Amino acid sequence: MNYTSVSHPQLGKGATAFLAKDLRMLIDGKWVAAKSGKTIDVEDPATQQIIASVPAGSAADIDAAVRAARLAFDKGPWSRISPADRSRLIWKLADLLETHADEFAELETIDNGKPVVNARRGDVQGAIDVFRYMAGWPTRLTGETVPVSSAGNWHVYTTREPVGVVGQIIPWNFPLMMAAWKLAPALAAGCTIVLKPAEQTPLTALRFGEIIQEAGFPDGVVNIVTGYGEEAGAALAEHPDVDKIAFTGSTAVGKRIVKAAASNLKRVSLELGGKSPAIVFPDADLEHAIAGTADAIFYNMGQCCTAGSRLFAHASVFDRIVEGVVEKASRLKLGHGLDTSVNMGPLVSQKQWDRVTGYIESGRTEGAQVLTGGTSTDKSGYFVEPTVLVTTRGDMKVVREEIFGPVVCVQRFDSDELDSVARFANDTDYGLAASIWTRDLRTAHTLARKIRAGTVCINTHNYVDPALPFGGFKQSGWGREMGKEAVEHYTETKAVAACL
Ligand code: ADP
């Protein structure tokens, strides 16, 4: 198939021109093919049409990228750049993203499948906001003077230094935004980077590489290597000259990253899976709770690590909540994400379609009742209808494992006792997020304290902000993204002790 001829009526000039290019990887300021010459086809998941191909980078390409990043960190102009100039460059990225926002949104949609309206307002805007927020950090990364107690005359202080060369491996659910969450704090801290986008969704990362160059970053500061996880990703996680690896993806791969990182004890931060509870109390604004909990699971076709996939409704409002969420699900319009009237696009790939429909089948087999959805549509592409399962129990696979699709398991609870509510909310290996729906301040904040999750939302779900640390308890990860913590995770603390 000749992918360069692919066009879509809603695809603008910028995105069309980008897709027509011979796409390469960015290593040391140059656009290069994989050393092996191999490529990966990129698919529009709404049509299953091949729309581009990108290099299939492997260990040799990762090695070249790491060498470039090492040189840029140790010797290049980046090693001498002032904090204010780092800020200026990062801010420029936000400005350039804003200039090309529609193009980025369209590329994200045709690559990932998500509705273009969400791509523009959520993904692209979110990326712009993260770069603007992080642009403020270079001039604010200070150490401390420390009042030591040793005998003598001491001047003791700490400094924060960039951790060095960072490998960043990102997923396919929010491709550009995940790149922004990783790149922005690392650049703010003064690191150099090798970024590996997901093989399913490499387009916006490569387009972003062009913006990196346009903004004026020195060669080798940001390198972008496309490739499969088991090849390029694994090589990056293992590489002895990488000082830190930052990963977002599945918990299973996260555990592999930890093992690979042990080779040189590189620093690791992980943002992994979730099975987040949304808990609705009888005193909640029920219309708001219905809309919010439906959105918590169906936004981005359920492909959010924080998705509210376990919905707990108090027995006294259970029927109303279920009826409301089913009704919301039935009103969502599925279709090609470039159609601006569409609410839900396809899942990202055949693999995800198989996985999600497999879970729905497993739920049925274990006794769950499918109230709505549960099948794909008659369209080509990896569409799965928004699905509501009831009569689910805490021991079912659909309740225990992350589905990463538009499938919610609704369970009833009777107790008004918050310790017992917290027990079922916490009955999971994960601890990424949770939401509590109530008008009662005491209920909200007491339960928020008892839930073991990195983000607890009250009367909302899937809430993120560049200033707010984001990450997980338990098997949802290590460390935090965004906020001050994210930047600090890209630094080492140095203690300087001067005997005067
Ligand atoms: P999914 O299974 O949903 O595709 P993954 O966790 O496998 O999610 O993918 C997230 C990212 O991790 C992608 O960029 C992928 O290429 C990468 N990846 C997958 N396997 C490995 C691995 N063994 N080592 C390093 N990175 C990997």
Q: Whose CA is nearest to atom 26 of ligand 1?
A: 233
How far away, in angstroms, is 177 Cα from ligand 1 center?
17
Q: Whose CA is nearest to atom 16 of ligand 1?
A: 229
Task: Clarify whether 271 is annotated catalytic.
Answer: yes
Return the bridge partners of 481, or none. Answer: 470
7: number of Cβ within 10 Å: 12
Q: Which numbered atom of ligand 1 lies nearest the CA of 228?
A: 16
Write the pLDDT tens digit of every residue in 296-348.
Answer: 999 999 999 999 999 999 999 999 999 999 999 999 999 999 999 999 999 99
How far away, in angstroms, is 249 Cα from ligand 1 center?
6
Among 291, 275, 279, 312, which residue's Cα sits nearest to residue 404? 275
Res. 497: pLDDT tops 80:
yes
How far away, in angstroms, is 230 Cα from ligand 1 center?
7
Task: Clarify whether 161 is annotated catalytic.
Answer: no
pLDDT of residue 9: 73
Return the bridge partners of 310, or none. Answer: 277, 409
| Mean pLDDT over the full length of the chain | 96
pLDDT of residue 8: 72
Write the pLDDT tens digit of every residue in 373-407.
Answer: 987 666 789 999 999 999 999 999 999 999 999 99
pLDDT of residue 6: 45
Query: Which is the catalytic residue, given 103, 106, 271, 402?
Result: 271
Write the pLDDT tens digit of every residue in 173-202.
Answer: 999 999 999 999 999 999 999 999 999 999
CB of 136 within 8 A of CB of 94? Answer: no
Pocket test for ligand 1, best of 25, 182, 199, 253 (most atoms within 8 A of CB): 253
Please give the single-letter amino acid code of residue 25. Answer: M
User: Quick check: CB of 175 below 6 Å from ligand 1?
Assistant: no
Flag whether the pTM goes above 0.85. yes
Write the pLDDT tens digit of every residue in 38-56.
Answer: 999 999 999 999 999 999 9
Q: How far apart are CA 264 and CA 96, in angstroms?
A: 37
Res. 2: pLDDT tops 80:
no
Pocket test for ligand 1, best of 169, 174, 196 (most atoms within 8 A of CB): 169
Q: How many CA atoms lie within 13 A of 422 on its CB side?
A: 15
Q: Whose CA is nearest to atom 11 of ligand 1?
A: 171
Write the pLDDT tens digit of every residue in 223-274.
Answer: 999 999 999 999 999 999 999 999 999 999 999 999 999 999 999 999 999 9
How far away, in angstroms, is 252 Cα from ligand 1 center?
9
Res. 5: pLDDT tops 60:
no
Cα three-residue angle 86-496-262, rounded to 5 degrees: 70
